[in-house]
Amino acid sequence: MSKLLLTISVLSTLYLVLCASNVHAQGVIQSPNYVIQMPNLNSGAGIPTSSHYGISTTIGQTAQGLASSSGYLVKSGFQYIYSIIPFSFSISSVSINFGNLIPQTAATASGTLTVSSGGAGGYQVKASENHPLKISSSASTIPNTNCDTACTNTTAGVWSLTTKYGFGFNMSGNDIPADFTDLTYFRPFADRDSSENPQVVMSSIYVGRGRQSTVTYKVNISGVQPAGIYNNIITFTAIPSY
């Protein structure tokens, strides 16, 4: 859950009038729907509304506004960001089934992550697992991969040898970490059961619509892996930044 906390500061100024001469006051701004007395606005933000109006404000910018011609449309100013690209996040599949595993024969499955973000600070998607793949009624687990030589939940490594066992994932597509060089590079998921922190698998500092990446899950077992139904839960958390 993302919570956006808006803090409104009200500055109250008390003027002590020592002389009645040469007093100047701000005029009144009004319409049939509202009246603003003493309209001396120094700064502000937010989206004030009532039953008759709504105001979206941009303050401190020198070129905000809408510009257009027959060939382009430019909406400049923070108030346009949220109207153009609302934040959204989706996962193409919430259930992955590798079927019957064959020793020293890697099984893979994939899903698509899709993010749209209009926040000025971009976004992040973090991933973690609740524990390694395991049989619920026993202590048997499929360990997280160490790749061919070495990899961690923050640094991917090549995993191509059929004699290297475990469970891991690869990322490809938009806004993925640079260590996923190609489809042979994998990481283990951060294990919350071992107090490991979720790690970033997608991120961008830019506004974007329909940013997609593919998660490829991979599992490879040895010939002595106990038979059974193994499972775990992978959690993806999308975090907008404003």
Q: Which domain holds residue 228?
A: 88-240
Q: Which residue, 134, 212, 124, 199, is CA-closest to 169?
A: 199
State residue 143's pLDDT score.
96
* Mean pLDDT, rounded, for 167-190: 98
Domain-located, residue 44: no
pLDDT-based confidence at residue 138 (cuts at 50, 70, 90): confident
Domain-located, residue 27: no
Task: List strand residue ranges (DSSP E) for 87-188, in order.
Answer: 88-91, 107-117, 123-129, 133-135, 141-142, 157-158, 166-173, 185-186
What percentage of the chain has pLDDT greater than the value 90? 57
Taking CA atoms, 8 is separated from 59, 82, 184, 210, in Å, by: 15, 20, 50, 33
| Residue that is written with structure tokens 């991979």 in the block | 218
Burial group, residue 124, by CB count within 10 angstroms (0-12, 13-18, 19+): buried
Domain-located, residue 6: no
| Residue that is written with structure tokens 């329909």 in the block | 210
Domains identified in the chain, total number:
1
Domain-located, residue 213: yes
The pTM is what? 0.69
pLDDT in tens, 101-122: 999 999 999 999 999 998 778 9
Domain-located, residue 199: yes
Looking at residue 215, which CATH number applies to its domain? Answer: 2.60.40
State residue 74's pLDDT score.
77
* Mean pLDDT, rounded, for 70-79: 73
